[in-house]
Structure 1
Amino acid sequence: MTDNLASLQHWKDGVGAYNAGNIQKAIQEFKSAAPTKGVLFNLGVASAKMGDNKSAIRHFDEVLRVDPNLGVAYLTRGACKHHERMYDDAIADYDRALATVPMQGDALDYTEEGLSFEMHKVDLLFNRALALKELGR
């Protein structure tokens, strides 16, 4: 099997494991795949699901180095920072994510990116408000 095919198989196996609730196996499979934007994003989501927000933040940092305009990575990294009580940093990430949502729209669908995720403006605004509340603002 070529490296590309093997990498794709690891990604598919990781998605299958994640969907089956075997998050640790999903992480192992994603780590065995080539570090594409989708794989790195999935690693971040799986790490967050395991409660390892610090690892998740590192994975989302990597995603954003590959694609600094991927709003959903700012949203999910912001949520992890929020859980780590890094409220100012979370707000900055929510603001970056908001900047990626078109003015005329209320959501971005990332299906075409290979990510089964839809980012809604209302969720970003709500998360931002919660972080501001934690800061007493």
Structure 2
Amino acid sequence: MALKYELEQWGAAVQAYDSQDFDKALDTFETIAESAKFHFNMGLIYATLGEHEEACRSYKKAVKLDQFFAVAYFQKGVSHFLLGEFEKALANFNDSLLYLRKNVLIDYEQLGLKFRLYSCEILFNRGLCYLYLGQTDQGMGDFTSAAKEKQTEEHEVIDEAITVQGQGFTVFSIPVGVIYRPPEGKLKNVKTKDYLGKAKLVAAVDPEDAFTGFTGAQQQKKQGLNTTTPITKANTEGAVIQINNGSNSRPASPTEKPQRPKSLSSSPRNPPFPMRASRNPSIARRRPPQNEGTPIYVDDDKTSNGGGQFPDRRLPASEGTMRSTSPAPD
């Protein structure tokens, strides 16, 4: 069973018990009665209603789940005593005293039950059972032992019972209203908490403030500062396109063919393949270094041998045959 559900039902059952709605409390405990303390609570409720037979059955389930449950044996003996079943009561008080393990008391408050089980109370109850069974010596012996282990002012009645041999006295018991209660801290943690709260609608006084974004960019926009930097990139045909940086220039349309930069020549002698964009487009037309005396062909259809002379460039007469060339006459 989920711990949250168990705590919620436990708290609801205790609240019903405090409101004296005992039927609801029993029904609620029945849904979570998987531990000894819940069956024990049901036994206390039945005892409050005077149904001690049902109370004994609940106590029996409790000690079956926890055989060292000393206070459950104690209360089971009380119910048997009130039913006149003194032998059964005597046996339960013996078990309660056994599981007290020679301690003077057991404090159940830290476990949720505001009650202390004292050894003198168990001895006194057992002594009453002996007296009602006609065993006066054993009964008075338990009274004497109980008087030696008194702990509180309420135990002063033991001395009075000794003087009259228990006539008119009844057994010690857990007071009405005392049951196992869940820790308050755990009950508070079970409740759902809204850490985020609810959203609030805030109206902007200035229309320029009706935005969601970075305030720094908005402040620069108000002051007329350029918040972007120019970026250039090359398209597929080698043209340089400048990204819009806040000026009047507009980016090239996808269907519009970009124009070539002015730094590039529009001469038909330019190579047909695209040229790479460069910070200095004139580098693309820079002539390679010339070696003196070696003719070099360039785009202007001229050769230079370093001496200012331009020999003829002749075509072959036929495929596979080269005509001899002679230098032009002076």
Residue 106 to residue 20, structure 1, CA distance change in 2 (3 Å): farther
Aligned to 1:5: 4
Q: Deviations over 1:22-44 (max 9, x none)?
A: 33332122112242111111011
Q: Deviations over 1:90-129 (max 9, x none)?
A: 01100110112242x3210123433332211111111111
Equivalent residues in 2 for 1:54-65, closer than 5 Å: 54-65=53-64
The one-letter amino acid of 1:43's match is M
RMSD: 1.7
Same amino acid, percent of matched pairs: 27
The one-letter amino acid of 2:7's match is L
Q: Look up the SS of the partner of 2:99 in the other structure.
A: coil
Partner Cα separation in structure 1 for residue 134 and residue 43 of structure 2 = 29
Aligned to 2:35: 36
Gapped regions of structure 2 (runs ≥ 5): 136-330
Q: Deviations over 1:1-32 (max 9, x none)?
A: x7442232221122222233333332122112
1:38–1:115: 8 Å Cα contact kept in structure 2? no
Structure with max Cα Rg:
2
TM-score (norm 1): 0.88
Runs of 4+ residues deviating >6 angstroms: none
Q: Look up the SS of the partner of 1:119 in the other structure.
A: strand
Equivalent residues in 2 for 1:83-122, closer than 5 Å: 83-103=82-102, 105-122=103-120
Structure number with higher relative contact order (C-alpha < 8 Å, ≥ 6 residues apart): 1
Aligned to 1:16: 15
Partner Cα separation in structure 1 for residue 27 and residue 99 of structure 2 = 31
Q: Look up the SS of the partner of 2:114 in the other structure.
A: coil
Aligned to 2:281: none
Aligned to 2:74: 75
Partner Cα separation in structure 1 for residue 118 and residue 21 of structure 2 = 27
Aligned to 2:129: 131
Residue 101 to residue 34, structure 1, CA distance change in 2 (3 Å): closer
Partner Cα separation in structure 2 for residue 18 and residue 111 of structure 1 = 19
Judge which range, 8-17 or 91-100, deviates more.
Answer: 8-17
The one-letter amino acid of 2:82's match is H
1:7–1:32: 8 Å Cα contact kept in structure 2? no
Q: Look up the SS of the partner of 1:108 in the other structure.
A: strand
The one-letter amino acid of 2:94's match is D
User: How many residues are treated as equivalent by the alignment?
Assistant: 135
The one-letter amino acid of 1:55's match is E
The one-letter amino acid of 1:101's match is L
CA drift of 1:135 comes to 1.1
